[in-house]
Chain A
Amino acid sequence: MKQPARSFPIPPSVPQEAEGEQVVIDDDREQSPFPEASPEEAQMADSITSEIYMYIYRDGWDEIIEELKGSKDNLAEAVGDMAGNLLSNEMLMAEEEGAEISREMYLDMQSGVVHQLTEVIAEKDIRKFKDDNEAQAFMGEALTYAINANIDSEDTKITRDSWLELTKEMLRGGVDPQPRQVAGNRVIEEVV
């Protein structure tokens, strides 16, 4: 086997990985159409959500389960309101302690909390999902309620006006949900 004298031209849109570096591509996970967060923002978001997850799985567990079991008729709304209130309170508490919380990470954090609570109801058999689409539809509804709960909360950084601004931004095409080209490891063709 020998290497070709000249490799084929690589289109500029195809990212080239360093040799030897392996990139695992998860087919189930689409790349985010939103701008990538900075490491500081990501850390900040994780610090907020980890507190909430801790509460869900420890101190608040019994209360949350009881609340969700009692809301089977409007479970998505209950999950959404709960997720929205938990995040809203957590952000406000963190800011009272002097932290600076970027609301640009709000959707990322909120979808995470909704996801965790949905996990809880699935794990506790409060609601069974026959497939992923059904779970996604449930979480979408819950997320909508969570956003609404945040808009109605005491958070002065997420208001009706600010959300309309975000909506406008999305309608102007600022976010395109079409998955971007997935980065992969280019294999150099070999001539036998």
Chain B
Amino acid sequence: MAQKTVTTKPTKNKWIKEIKWPVIIGATLLGGMGAYGAGLSGGGQSLTSNIKLGTNTLLGNLFGGGTVAAKASMVPVHHAGSTGVMSTGGSALKAASGGGIGGFFGNLLGGMFGGEGGTGISLGNIISGIGGYFGSKANYELSERALDLKEQFGYEDVRLKEEELALQTMKAEAAIAAEKRQTAIGSTFMGHTNPIAAAAEGLTGVEQGLQVADTWVTPEVRKKAGGALGGPQQGLITQAKQRQVS
């Protein structure tokens, strides 16, 4: 249902200017969020609660699992007739959202969500504003991630493809790891895993190989002790000495 408009329509009224396009787009998106929230469990109570539910569900799913870093910056918010800077915490947002739908538009036009107010607002500003105002976290960087929302609206095919891709990636990684292990097992050094292969990524539980001393350590001898044959030579030849001799 692509929307069209008549731009040549003259302004007929002297009292109030016609509705600006960012406002129309904002209302359209809020209507969508409300429609989405109304169909969820717990929805259908009021339009505002539906919008909050829809927005939170969408953004909660979108940013869940820590896979996407949500920018948690400070957001200037109009509240109780003043402009302050609020943190991104949930409680602060509750206060910021106290103005309802009208408050959202007031902030949007006041440039609170970016842009320059009525004329410089982008689609990203509007979406980000909805997320910040009605969502549980403020000021998501949605402008660049707006397309990701399509999954939440039922783009199951995209989601399934992504899952399949992730599965294929996992399989490929597992195959590579198995090959590395096989290489590591087949290449041993004096009964231990080859130290070079042991450093291969994905190989766990590797035992330490034979360590050869880099420097010669003078062996301790038992002074004043008689030699093995009772002669004047000092004590026993150490194992290291034996190895050197051999």
Mark A residues whose CB is within 8 Å of B. Answer: 26, 28-38, 41-42, 45-46, 76-77, 102-108, 111-112, 114-116, 118-119, 122-123, 129, 132-141, 143-145, 147-148, 151, 157-158, 160, 162-179
Closest residue to A162 on the B side, CB-wise?
A: B1
Contacts A135-B17, A148-B31, A173-B146; A164 near B36 (Cβ below 8 A): yes
The residue among A118, A119, A133 with the most chain B CB atoms within 10 A of its own CB is A133
CB <8 Å contact, B28 and A139: no
Checking B28, B101, B110, B147 against A167 with a beta-carbon cut-off of 8 angstroms, the contacting residue is B28
Mark B residues whose CB is within 8 Å of A. Answer: 1-9, 11, 13, 15-36, 38-39, 47, 100-106, 108-110, 117-123, 126-127, 146-147, 149-150, 153-154
Bound-state Cα–Cα, A32 to B96, Å: 30
Bound-state Cα–Cα, A170 to B106, Å: 21
CB <8 Å contact, A30 and B20: yes
CB <8 Å contact, A115 and B106: no
Bound-state Cα–Cα, A12 to B109, Å: 32
Which chain A residues lie closer than 8 Å to B17 at the CB level? 28-29, 132, 135-136
Which chain B residues lie closer than 8 Å to A174 at the CB level? 2
CB <8 Å contact, A173 and B123: yes
Contacts A107-B5, A108-B3; A177 near B121 (Cβ below 8 A): yes
* Apart from A29-B17, A132-B17, 18 more pairs, CB < 8 Å: A36-B4, A42-B6, A105-B4, A112-B9, A132-B118, A136-B17, A139-B16, A139-B19, A140-B102, A144-B27, A147-B27, A148-B47, A151-B35, A173-B146, A173-B147, A177-B21, A178-B121, A179-B119
CB <8 Å contact, B7 and A36: yes
CB <8 Å contact, A138 and B102: yes
Which chain B residues lie closer than 8 Å to A162 at the CB level? 1
Closest residue to A111 on the B side, CB-wise?
A: B19
Return A50 CB to nearest CB of chain B, in Å. 11
Which chain B residues lie closer than 8 Å to A108 at the CB level? 3-6
Checking A31, A103, A115, A133 against B19 with a beta-carbon cut-off of 8 angstroms, the contacting residue is A115
Which chain B residues lie closer than 8 Å to A45 at the CB level? 6
Which chain A residues lie closer than 8 Å to B23 at the CB level? 136-137, 139-140, 143
Which chain B residues lie closer than 8 Å to A107 at the CB level? 3, 5, 24, 28
Return A9 CB to nearest CB of chain B, in Å. 28
Closest residue to B38 on the A side, CB-wise?
A: A160
CB <8 Å contact, B31 and A147: yes
Return A150 CB to nearest CB of chain B, in Å. 9
Bound-state Cα–Cα, A93 to B147, Å: 38
